[in-house]
Every structure is written in C-alpha cells, then in structure tokens.
Structure 1
Amino acid sequence: MWHGEQLDLDAYLARLTYDGERTPTEATLRALHRAHVLSVRWDNLDSFLYRSVSLDLAEVQDKLVRRGRGGYCYEHIALFAAALERLGFRFTALAGRVQLGAEKILPATHAMLLVDVDGRRLLADVGFGASPLAPIELVDGNEVTIEGRPFLLRRTEITPGADGWALHQPDGRGGWMVRHTFTENPQYPVDNEVGNHFIATGPHSPFNRRPFVQRIRADRTDQLDGLTWTTTTAAGAATGGEPDEKRTVDPRELPGVLAGTFGLELSPTEARSLVERVQQREE
C-alpha cells in the first residue's frame, strides 16, 4: 500500500546516517524515528513557491533523500511509511488536527502513523517539524519527557460528540496546550492526497503564503516563519516559553540561512525564486 518495494532503503538509511538493525522491533522503530527527525527537515517551500507538492514516492525520495531537501508531514509520512513497510512493521496511518492554542475546529491536515510493535501501540509523529525525538505509547495519561521535551497524551472528546486523542505540549504558563488531536480512524495514501491538495493549493492554507522551515537538533530547534528566525533550546521547550533567540532575516539572506542553519541547499533557481517571491510579498 505504501510502496515500500519502490524505496531505495539503503539510500534512505544513509540519509539518516543509520546503520543499526533492520528488524521490526521497538528498538529499531525508536532509532529510526529519532534519526529521521534529526536528519530530514520540515519545509513548505514547494507549496510556497509552486503550490504543488507531489506525494509520489519516487519524487519524495528524490527530494528528501537524494537532494537533501525537506518537506511537510505528508511527504515525511510517505517516506517513513514506505521504510516501515519495507522493514516489516505493522502500522496504521492517522489524521490529526493541529491546534496550538486555536479554539475553533481546524481541518485534519496532519499525518502520523500508529505502529503496533512488541505488543504496544506507538504514535510515530515524524512530520510535525518540532517532532518528538521518539514515538509515544498510545496510553491515556501518558506523560513523557523525551530528551528534555515534555509531552502528554490524553484520551478525550476532541470534537463535539467525538472521542479521540490529544497530544499536549507545555503552554509556557506551567500548564499544557493541545498540540494536535486525532482519532484512530485508518487513513490511506488517497486520503493523504486530499489533505495534501488543500495544504499545497488551498486559498486558506497557511503553507502557501509564506516560507516555513524547521530543524530540530537534540539540544535546540530552529524555526523560520516568513522572515522571523527563532531558536529555542531544549530547556526552553521544556516550559513552552518564548524562544531563546529571535531575529529578522533580510529576504536576500534567506538562501544562506537555509543552507547554514537549516542544512537546506537550494538550487540557484529555487534560491532566486524564493528571494523574489518573499520580496514581492513584503512590498
């Protein structure tokens, strides 16, 4: 279903600098999850520049593996699901609604995987951007701290009359904020195509209005939102407070910042298009 047979597994694992076991165990899942989050960036540049994002596995591999670019959740999940399928894992794709303080009901445009392994069900959320560095067991009230970053998983009513799950993160005031909600309804590649179409092309999508890039490291997360570049340490993420550093980038600096801080090498054409499009939107 997820075209694992088409995946160049050796190239993908080399992209992650992963040389561990290839057996479908929890230890393997945790190692792959961490390596993927640390190695493959989150970016919406194709949506911003072209309003077109392909989920064809060959094109996703070329972009995220061979060209070293990033992508957003649907691309990450297409790649990660193909790898897990190829390695023999059993999993279900899920759809989530990103909240992050929003009070209204937002569309279900976030993709994740629920992996059944060693008698446990683990939420693999590699495509959020500031993703957890490990999967989180699907247990009500499960509160975990993953390399200094706290998360809380609760089963609750997520929309009127519908129960599901809510993943929380610190709200900066000593409490919790819902990061995203989701149900266990299975999703399939065709469902992700629908969500991807809205995100890439929809007039109300935030991802085709401005560049948005994230890179997570073990000790910090860098985020570029339009022309605002923030850095949040793992200690800062533990409380959900303000970023440790915040600065404004000149549009002409964008290619260099992306290459240096975010590890995204754009082609000359992409770099020129990015600067021009941002300059146009700033005028």
Structure 2
Amino acid sequence: MSSISSLWSTLEEQLLPVFADYRSRLADLPVEVKADRTLLTEADVAVQELVLAAIREFDGPDAVVIAEEDERAETREEVVASGGRLWVVDPIDGTAEFVRGESVEFCSVVCLLEDWKPSAAFVLAPELGSGRAPMTVSADARTHQLRLDGRAVSPTSQDEISRHLSATRSRGEDRPAFDAAAVEAGFTVKTRTTSQSLDMLRTALDVSNLTAPALPPFDLFWRRGQKLWDGAAGLCLAAAAGLRSCGEDGEPLTLKPDFLSAPTPTFAANVTGRPETVAWFLETACV
C-alpha cells in the first residue's frame, strides 16, 4: 500500500481548488441549519464526496468511514466488522466561519483509526496562513511525528506556557465559574466556537508565526459534548505531540466499538493539553 502521505497530498491537490471556488461565490451559496443547529452547505457535501472517494481509492472500496454529513440515524454495524481500522471525516469543520468571507478559521479534517486508536491525521486549512495562504498539518501518533506544510516540526514546547485556553461552548451553555477561575489563574480564555479541530491543532502546535494576525497556541482545549469528527484528528495531533487527553473524570478518552457505532459518536467532554495544565483544570477548575 502507498504511504499515507500520498493520500494527504491527493486531498490537498483536489480540495484547495474546490474551497477556492466555493469561497469565491459565498453570496450565492444556500445555507441550511441542521437539527443540531450547525450549518450545512453544498460545499460540505461536495468536499465530503471528494474525501470519501480519495480514501476508498487509497484504502479500498470497503473502507469504513464515519463522516459528519452521512446523515446516519441507525447503529453503524460496519464499525465492529472493521476490526478497528476506520476513518473519521469532517469535510468542513467550522462551516459557520466558512460562510463568512472575512473568516479563515475553517478546515477539512481526516483521521485514520487503527486498533481503535487515532493513528494518523490530516488537517487542511485553506486560508489560515498569512495572506490567506493554505496550511496543512499531518500527524503520526505512533511515531510521534508532526508535519507542517510537508516538513517535520516539533510540537509546542512543554516549557513555554502561553496562558491561553480554548474553552468554547455550545449555545446556551454557561460556565462563568470556570471563566473566573481561569482569569484568576492568569489565562486568556477563548469561548467563541470557530473550528474545534483548529483549536486542538493550536494546542499541539504553535503556528502563530504563520498566521496574521498571530493566533497564539493554547495550553488547554476543553469542550463538552464534542462530536467525534470534531475531535478525532485533534486527539491524534495531541498524541503525536505528547499531550494528555481525557474526560472531566481524568480517564483517558477511548474509542471503543460501541461508542464508534453510534449514529453521532459524542464525547461527554474532551480535555486536552499540557499535562500540568490538564491537572490544574481537573483539580481546580472542572465545574
């Protein structure tokens, strides 16, 4: 089988012109509101179809894929039969940002699971770089390797504390006690949701020197009710970077077959970040 890097290259080559085309005609792009109050556009569907076709060309026609826009309502019986090798796809993470012409915090995300664990991941952010340049990040959790725009890079230094947290929330969710505790501890807290995958990327990797304005790295990412496709690639990036990922009970997040078989696999909570910051959160700020 070809190296997975060939799949990442194929996705970058095929998706960038599609994103550019849709972004050039946002004014004429219909936007639907799904039952979970997230947005759906023709672009989400088109990108997903391209990604699934590329995965099945790479991994075979029987590749098992969990994708956001597959509109499943029943148990995913094929997950158990996969033996732990399956793909998780979010065609456009941050659709609400994608449909705003001035925004750049959206991406396309793919994660390969092997033995029921995130093994490899790819994030394509078409306009995140300075001057709206594309940015790609890939991760290999087993070899602890991260690549940024094709070159090997080191994760965010465990010695450099940014004092920034991503603690975005669902509409109507109120967490003033946490905000107060974080501010008292000297953190700046991001609460508005853009792309959860990009926030997790910025927890694993400092890309501030490539964005304009500079987007600081995060010491911690926290999200309740996170859907699998919003977090799988981020968990892979975190594993490659040596970060800690767990629930609010401190137990590691596990991707068991019964969890993955749900129509919409959803973590009760995802806490990912520098081990000492996660420990602080669990001990003093988890409310």
Q: TM-score, normalised by structure 2?
A: 0.26
Q: TM-score, normalised by structure 1?
A: 0.26
